Amino acid sequence: MQIQILSVYFQTNHSIMEFTYIFLGIILLFVVMSFVTVQQGNVAVITVFGKFRRVIRPGLNMRIPFIEQIFKRISYQNRSMELKFQAISQDQANVYFTAMLLYSVLNEESATIENVAFKFVDERSFMQALIRSVEGAVRAFVATKRQSEILLLRSEIIFHVKEQLDKQLEGWGYHLMDLQINDINFDEDILKSMSRVVASNNLKAAAENEGQALLITKTKAAEAEGNAIKISADAERTAAQMRGQGVALFREEVARGMATAAKEMETANLDASYILFSMWTDAIKHFAEYGKGNTIFLDGSSDNYMRTMQQLMSTLQGFGPKKDNN
């Protein structure tokens, strides 16, 4: 009887111990599940029975196990993606874009995080909507421009896309930080035609530059030649003027000498024609000495001699002293 009582006692104590261990295990599990760790750069969305409750921040946080569930972990770090798409210009040319999209969560406020968590079914749906929105905005802008204008409008395209998407993305809880258009390309035929246009424009510019250079060269050469001719003419005119003045001075001095000599001979009661005869013979001597011809023809008749003497005498009288009429 005692053995049976002891057996029942030990069984009862064993059951109590098992229950105690189970209870302590449940409490320990409950405590462990109450702590949640969130990595830096992320937040966690907590729901209660499927309804948004709160947002927990990076670090060690507590929650009510089995009641508060982590619906989604959201990163508010910057994210990027590369886009490749095609657009058609106003003149029906295919334009191929390669772009880099940089975006992030707008801020860490609860309302923003709630939008990010519940606006889309999953991340794939959001990415699809974002890509199609960017492509649509670019296509709408390109459709209003001609193919030749597209390459010069990178910044305008980016500004247009950001202007169109900022409000829409803000409603989704995101912010478009930057859109970089890395490459704009066209069909091969268009690229070849553009290359030919550029080459012809370069040839045209080169020809214009060469023509202008040749015109400048010719103009400067003509100006230099004109200046040289002008300087030479001025020098020649000055030289001729000086030569004329020298000849005039020489003749004036000769005439004065002759007049003085004639006056002295007249004072001495000598014939002044002797001077003229001497000058005439000196002239003939000068002709014979410095002339390059072999023959000198002179009219040696007495009539010519007398005529020459009369001309010289009238010349001498012209240089003689002027009489006072008074």
Binned at pLDDT 50, 70 and 90, residue 18 comes out as confident
The string of DSSP codes covering 233-274 is HHHHHHHHHHHHHHHHHHHHHHHHHHHHHHHHHHHTT--THH
Q: Are 133 and 191 in contact (CB under 8 A)?
A: no
Using alpha carbons, select from 97, 238, 246, 89 the residue that is nearest to residue 158. 97
Q: Tens digits of per-residue pLDDT, 212-264?
A: 888 888 888 888 888 888 888 888 888 878 877 776 777 677 777 767 776 77
Residue 322 has pLDDT above 60, yes or no: no
Kindly tell me if the per-residue pLDDT of 321 is higher than 60. no
Q: What is the pTM of this model?
A: 0.54
The per-residue pLDDT for 39 is 92
Of 183, 186, 193, 153, nearest to 87 by C-alpha is: 186
Residue 212 or 9, more confident:
212
Check residue 71 and give its pLDDT.
92
Cβ(121)–Cβ(182) under 8 Å? no
> Average of pLDDT values for 273-286?
69
Q: Does residue 325 register a pLDDT over 50?
A: no
- Angle between the 273-290 and 302-318 helix axes, to the nearest 10 degrees? 110
Mean pLDDT for 26-37 is 84
CA dist., res. 117 & res. 71, Å (int): 8
d(CA 135, CA 212): 48
d(CA 231, CA 150): 60
80's CB contacts (< 8 A; 6+ apart) are: 100, 101, 102, 103
* Mean pLDDT along residues 17-34: 80
The more confidently predicted of residues 11 and 180 is 180
Share of the chain above pLDDT 90, in %: 26
Determine if residue 324 is left, alpha or beta; phi over 0 gives left, psi from -120 to 50 gives alpha, anything else beta. beta
Q: Residue range 288-293: average pLDDT?
A: 69
Residue-averaged pLDDT of the chain = 81
pLDDT at 326: 43
Q: pLDDT value at position 324?
A: 47
The burial of 37, by beta-carbon neighbours within 10 Å (0-12 exposed, 13-18 middle, 19 or more buried), is given as exposed
pLDDT at position 99 = 92
Q: CA gyration radius for the chain?
A: 61
For the stretch 147-155, contacts whose Cβ atoms lie closer than 8 Å and that sit 24 or more positions apart, written own/partner, are: 147/89, 147/90, 147/91, 147/93, 147/95, 147/186, 147/190, 150/89, 150/95, 150/184, 151/184, 154/181, 154/184
Return the percentage of the chain with pLDDT > 70, whole number. Answer: 78
Q: Which residues are CB-contacts of 41 (< 8 A; sequence separation ≥ 6)?
A: 58, 75, 76, 77
Residue 293 predicted with pLDDT over 90: no
> Which pLDDT value is given to residue 78?
92
Tokens encoding 29: 């599990």
Task: Supply the pLDDT for residue 11.
Answer: 61
Mean pLDDT across the stretch 289-307? 67
- pLDDT on residue 138: 92
Give the pLDDT confidence score for residue 75 in this predicted structure: 92
Task: Kindly report the backbone phi and psi dihedral angles of residue 138, in degrees, each rounded to the nearest multiple of 5, phi listed first.
Answer: -65, -45
- pLDDT single digits (tens) 117-173: 999 988 899 999 999 999 999 999 999 998 888 888 888 999 999 988 888 898 899
Q: Which pairing describes strands 79-88 and 68-75: parallel, antiparallel, or unpaired? A: unpaired
**94-105 vs 174-186, strand pairing mode:** antiparallel
pLDDT recorded at residue 9: 55
**Residues in contact with 298: Cβ distance below 8 Å, sequence separation at least 6, in sequence order:** 284
Give buried/exposed letters for 78-89 (b at 16+ CB in 10 A, else e): eeeeebebebeb
Whether the Cβ atoms of residue 135 and residue 164 lie closer than 8 Å to each other: no
pLDDT, position 264 = 73
pLDDT per position as a tens digit, 82-103: 999 999 988 888 899 999 999 9
